[in-house]
Structure 1
Amino acid sequence: MTAARVVVVCTANICRSPFAELVLRRGLHTAHVTSIEVVSAGTAALVAAQIHPLSAAELTLRGIDSASFAPRQVDRRILSESDLVLTMTRAHRGELLDREPSALRRTFTFREFATLVGHPSAAQADSFAGLVRAAYLARSSRPGAVNGEEADIADPYGGTREAFAAMAGAIERDARTITHALSLLSEPQPSALGAAAQRVGAVQPSCQKPGTLQ
């Protein structure tokens, strides 16, 4: 079975989105969810850089190794192959939708998705596709559910260790909610809204990654 693909996006892919990726991965692994893949990318990725040392330190505090992490640039292929896109801010979400308008129904801010999966309709979802669809419908019916800065994960780049700790705590709380929702699915399979289904269809039967930065 082809895994559903979750893409977490920030700017440079060195602070927030790597932390979110690795925390989500660990949470899914702990919950024995093997049919969901999590990656991250940046809208202006520092592809030659490493994860920010203060993000790495927050991961180390949680027993997560980030030594092998490498930033990657988001592109249309990554977006088209995604089944769920989670951005760190509303600005990132808007930028990605400018690039790939067809991703609207599967693109949310990280905090927005964590809020929406608590909606009663989402609780009834029994598949990955159903959960993403329920979150989209909940957003459509409750456009004010997550407003303003509440929808964003604050940018810690250039800040203190305390700023990174606050970022880590906010992401970890939301990641816990998202992981729990995904772990309850009886069939966490790829969404028909994304391109995992296209990846399946592409397999032949006989053949058988100045301003604010993260």
Structure 2
Amino acid sequence: MSATRFSVLIVSTGNVCRSPIAEELLRAQLAATIGPDARAFRCESAGTWGHSGAGMESHAAAVLAERGIEPGSFVARELNPDQVLEADLILGATRDHREQVHLLDPYAAGRTFTIREFARFARRVYPATLPEADPAVRARALVDRVAMLRTPRPGPGRPDDDIADPFGAPLHVFRLCADSIAEGLAALVGHLTPASAAGSRSSSAV
């Protein structure tokens, strides 16, 4: 884990649907919310049973294109311990992915969540209580707060913490999947600017 950068690792099963969608959506949300500061964030994805070397599933690429995101030459890869060790925050699509990360590195438990689980706890953190600092510092503080709210240890979670695998489903199912992912990631990205700045943007948007 770097002191000057913040690394997010997103995990699903094959790394061809949910996790690449989340990787690209997170990158886009960061750029839209914090602008040049997004360069301090590294967004990656992997699969617990990754189709290493495969491209993104066509419907996954299509839903990103509908949102104005060009994923480029994405290549799937399988999750490995080094990725877990280097990540400041690990977000699984489901509770099973979270547990697979724990099996690789039990010490990663305090920074490993499902996307929806992290969002659920992050919404309980008042942005003004985070440090008035750059986004990477605020992100670290947010992960610490979320981990504290989940103490004393990660529990089994809730069924609605999972985002279902859309592999093989029609395009509209991928759209619903992308909506769920985007909503969950917004709970992270929305905390990365000081409350005063966020309030100013909200006021100007009214």
Query: What is the distance in 2 between the residues matched to 1:129 and 1:173?
Result: 20
Which letter does structure 1 place at the counterpart of 2:10? V
**Alignment equivalent of 1:176, drawn from 174, 180, 186:** 186
- Partner SS for 2:98: helix
- Contact in 2 for aligned 1:93/1:107 (Cα 8 Å): yes
Partner in structure 1 of residue 65 of structure 2: 60
- Partner SS for 1:183: coil
CA RMSD of aligned residues (A): 2.2
Q: How does 1:50-199 map to 2 (within 5 A)?
A: 50-120=55-125, 124-126=129-131, 127-140=138-151, 147-184=157-194
- Contact in 1 for aligned 2:84/2:105 (Cα 8 Å): yes
Aligned residues: 185
Q: 1:122 to 1:72 in 2, by over 3 A?
A: farther
TM-score (norm 2): 0.82
- Cα deviation for residue 178 of structure 1 reads 1.8
Which consecutive unaligned segments of at least 5 residues does structure 1 have?
Answer: 187-214
- Partner SS for 1:17: helix
Instruction: Report percent identity of matched pairs.
Output: 35
- Contact in 1 for aligned 2:8/2:89 (Cα 8 Å): yes
Structure with the bigger percentage of helix: 2
- Partner SS for 1:155: coil
Q: 1:141 to 1:96 in 2, by over 3 A?
A: closer
Which letter does structure 1 place at the counterpart of 2:146? A
Which letter does structure 2 place at the counterpart of 1:12? G
- Cα deviation for residue 159 of structure 1 reads 1.3
Partner in structure 2 of residue 18 of structure 1: 20
Which letter does structure 1 place at the counterpart of 2:7? R
Q: 1:104 to 1:147 in 2, by over 3 A?
A: closer
Q: 1:123 to 1:152 in 2, by over 3 A?
A: farther
TM-score (norm 1): 0.80
Query: What is the distance in 1 between the residues matched to 2:97 and 2:125?
Result: 27
Which letter does structure 2 place at the counterpart of 1:24? L
Which letter does structure 2 place at the counterpart of 1:131? L
- Cα deviation for residue 98 of structure 1 reads 1.1
The range that moved more, 53-62 or 35-44, is 35-44
The range that moved more, 79-88 or 28-37, is 28-37
Query: What is the distance in 2 between the residues matched to 1:36 and 1:155?
Result: 26
1 or 2 for the larger relative contact order (CA 8 Å, sep ≥6)? 1
- Contact in 2 for aligned 1:121/1:134 (Cα 8 Å): no
- Contact in 2 for aligned 1:42/1:74 (Cα 8 Å): yes
- Partner SS for 1:29: helix
